[in-house]
Amino acid sequence: MAVLSVIGVTSSGQADTLYRLNTSQQDMDISEVNAGTYPYIRLSLNNQDAVTLTPYQLRYWRLLYDPAPEGALAPNLTYRSKDTLEVGEQLDFSIAFKNISDAAFRDSIKVNVVILDKNNVATIIPVSRKKALQPGDTAVISALIDTRQFSGNNTLFIDVNPNMEQPEQYRFNNVLYKNFFVRPDTHNPLMDVTFDGVHILNGDIVSAKPKIVIKLKDEAKYLALDDTSLAAVFVRYPGGNIMRRFAFGTDTLRFVPADVSTGKNEATIEFSPAFLEDSNGDYYELFVRAKDKSGNNAGNIEYHVSFQVFNKPMISNMFNYPNPFTTSTAFVFTITGSDVPQNIRIQIMTVTGKVVREITRQELGPLHIGRNITEFKWDGTDQYGGKVGNGVYLYRVITNQNGAALEKFKTVDPSGSNVDTDKYFNKGYGKMYLMR
């Protein structure tokens, strides 16, 4: 007697006999067996012959089935990734998955993509399902991952057809672990502040309507400085202790975000206030706080500078420096108000009043409200380039703003007191000494 047993095996390993077949039964359909209950099937043949003691001669047994498909990750076909990235740089990952069997997947294929960070916290990366692959067909699994939240060491986990969502022969070649490192941003951003294009010192005089430009630069080229929450601008007015914070998005305070596509991570803040009140012995104070996308502050303390404002257009006496001089001398003076005079020129004369050289506004170079030292340096030559003789020369400044000459401004020292410079001038004329 020969008996063929069809045994179902559960996931826990328990074996249950489902069918018994004798030699008269040539075929058996087991499609009604619940694969969820019995994911494994075992065949067992039991031979017994008490008469002739000759075992049953089995020619063959054959299992007819529709095979499950088999897929595998195929980095030899497509693979793209990086081991090390800058924080904020996108991880552009892709890998191929190929159906390497003769059977087709019956449905679209699910893919799980998970990142385990340095604290072993899992973050699921959404990835669309892939098409049902025909034999020999290939799908590409790709993900563009923002690394701003993944500073340090991380592991990228790829799982295709997780938990046997649909039948497949094997699972071991559907899984990938990929380590990558995101270099954190530990550098402080740099901040640069100018008033009408000039870096000022504490106590300097500035325009009553200055254009203050604040530039914020950061080395993290993938974390664009593109958010107004990264900076705050405050002003304390003379005679008060309360700082006024200015809001972005107005004509007074404008934020120009960084464009990292240019290769530079630099944001610009354009601050155009109107200081209608004179300093009157006190100071205005500007405070700027700024940070980058990683929270690194621009410096250990906030930027702070004090300055003076005089709304009335005036010009101080003009000194030449050095004096005496041998090769050349520049001119030092202070302008107040809101705008640089439309016309300003310097006349250099002999002691008898003959003009030997007239220096125009264009020759003086760039001027601004506040203290100026001219780019122009008189080298002791006349209007035609000829050298003048050694000795004493007189000079005076001629100004014009809206058809009127500017009044004289008495220089103010850091303590706020006026400095009498008139004693160095005689009826508006200064003296210089040329000694070659």
> Cβ atoms within 10 A of the Cβ of 205, count?
24
Q: How far apart are the two ends of the chain, measured CA to CA in Å?
A: 134
* Architecture of domain 314-434 in this structure: Sandwich (2.60)
- Per-residue confidence at 403, pLDDT binned at 50, 70, 90? confident
In whole angstroms, give the CA distance from residue 273 to residue 247.
12
Q: What is the pLDDT of residue 301?
A: 86
Name the percent of the chain lying above pLDDT 90. Answer: 72
The candidate with the shortest Cα–Cα distance to 234, out of 274, 270, 288, is 288
Tens of pLDDT, residues 192-201: 999 999 999 9
Written in H, E and C, the secondary structure of 348-361 is EECCCCCEEEEECH
Q: Is 151 helix (H, G, I), strand (E, B) or coil?
A: coil
- Per-residue confidence at 51, pLDDT binned at 50, 70, 90? confident
In whole angstroms, give the CA distance from residue 399 to residue 361.
10
Torsion over CA: 290, 295, 296, 300 (sign): positive
> Where does residue 99 fall: left (phi above 0), alpha (psi -120 to 50 degrees), or beta otherwise?
beta
Task: Kindly give the residue spans of alpha helices, DSSP state H, lying in 293-397.
Answer: 361-364
Residue 250 sits at the vertex; the CA angle it makes with 247 and 255, to the nearest 5 degrees, is: 75
Name the average pLDDT for the chain.
Answer: 91
Distances (CA, A) of 148 to 222, 229, 395: 9, 17, 63
Tens of pLDDT, residues 20-50: 988 888 888 998 999 889 989 999 998 888 8
| Contact of 404 with 292, CB cutoff 8 Å | no
Question: Is the predicted pLDDT of residue 420 greater than 60, yes or no?
Answer: no
In whole angstroms, give the CA distance from residue 396 to residue 135.
95
| More confident position, 343 or 111 | 111
Is 135 buried (19+), middle (13-18) or exposed (0-12) by CB count in 10 A? middle
Question: Is the predicted pLDDT of residue 409 greater than 60, yes or no?
Answer: yes
- Per-residue confidence at 102, pLDDT binned at 50, 70, 90? very high
Determine the distance from the C-alpha atom of residue 321 to the mean position of all C-alpha atoms in its chain, rounded to a whole number.
45
- Per-residue confidence at 66, pLDDT binned at 50, 70, 90? confident
- Per-residue confidence at 351, pLDDT binned at 50, 70, 90? very high
- Per-residue confidence at 234, pLDDT binned at 50, 70, 90? very high
- Per-residue confidence at 67, pLDDT binned at 50, 70, 90? confident
Tens of pLDDT, residues 132-182: 999 999 999 999 999 999 999 999 999 999 998 999 999 999 999 999 999
* Architecture of domain 71-183 in this structure: Sandwich (2.60)
Q: What is the pLDDT of residue 421?
A: 60
Tens of pLDDT, residues 173-182: 999 999 999 9
pTM, full prediction:
0.72
Domain boundaries, the chain: 2-47, 71-183, 190-309, 314-434
Q: What is the pLDDT of residue 404?
A: 81
Give the number of residues written for the chain: 436
Domain 190-309 is in which class? Answer: mainly beta
Q: Is 405 helix (H, G, I), strand (E, B) or coil?
A: coil
The candidate with the shortest Cα–Cα distance to 283, out of 301, 302, 310, is 310
**CB-based burial, 144-161: b 16+ in 10 Å, e otherwise:** ebebbebbeebebebbbb
Q: What is the pLDDT of residue 379?
A: 93
Tens of pLDDT, residues 247-286: 999 999 999 999 988 889 999 999 999 999 998 889 999 9
In whole angstroms, give the CA distance from residue 92 to residue 154.
15
Q: What is the pLDDT of residue 261?
A: 86
The stretch 402-427 carries a mean pLDDT of 66
The stretch 308-314 carries a mean pLDDT of 92
| Contact of 8 with 40, CB cutoff 8 Å | yes
The stretch 86-115 carries a mean pLDDT of 96
Question: Is the predicted pLDDT of residue 405 greater than 70, yes or no?
Answer: yes
- Per-residue confidence at 378, pLDDT binned at 50, 70, 90? very high
Question: Is the predicted pLDDT of residue 419 greater than 60, yes or no?
Answer: no
Answer whether 71-183 and 190-309 agree in fold. yes
